[in-house]
């Protein structure tokens, strides 16, 4: 990719920008190819299920109770993904390009 704006382009119009397509190994020019990400309840815990990371990127999942303060979730600790009963919990992916990949 020539510059940063290309990573944020979505040439196939599937709603998934090139950086995300690259991170999860889906085709940026095929709208039927996009990463399948699911939130699966397991008792009191929640698991974020996503395809393996294949692009040269750093991918972290962040959690927030208010969408203002975000903290990095510990993948090995299911409690990081468990909402407090009666309170919302939000998750987001932070994807950063590995600068060594150019
Ligand atoms: Ca796309």
Interval 29-71: pLDDT, tens: 999 999 999 988 888 778 888 999 999 999 999 999 999 999 9
Residue 12, pLDDT > 80, answer yes
Structure tokens at 55: 């692009």
Whole-structure pTM value: 0.79
Percent of the chain clearing pLDDT 70 (strictly above):
93
Whole-number Å distance between alpha carbons of 11 and 70? 30
Environment of ion ligand 1 (residues, CB < 5 A): 10, 12, 14, 16
Least Cα distance to 73 among 52, 53, 59, 87 occurs for 59
Q: How far is the CA of 34 from the centre of ligand 1 (A)?
A: 7
**CATH number of 4-101, picked from 2.40.50, 3.40.50, 3.30.70, 2.60.40:** 2.60.40
Q: How far is the CA of 51 from the centre of ligand 1 (A)?
A: 16
Whole-number Å distance between alpha carbons of 38 and 49? 5
């Amino acid at each position: 990719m020539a510059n940063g704006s290309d990573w944020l382009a979505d040439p196939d119009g599937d709603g998934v920008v090139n950086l995300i397509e690259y991170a999860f190994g889906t085709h940026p020019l095929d709208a039927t190819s996009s990463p399948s990400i699911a939130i699966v309840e397991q008792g009191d815990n929640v698991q974020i299920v996503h395809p393996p990371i294949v692009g040269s990127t750093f991918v972290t999942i962040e959690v927030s109770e208010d969408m203002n303060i975000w903290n990095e979730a510990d993948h090995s600790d299911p409690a990081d993904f468990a909402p407090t009963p009666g309170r919302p919990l939000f998750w987001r992916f932070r994807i950063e390009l590995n600068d060594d990949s150019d």
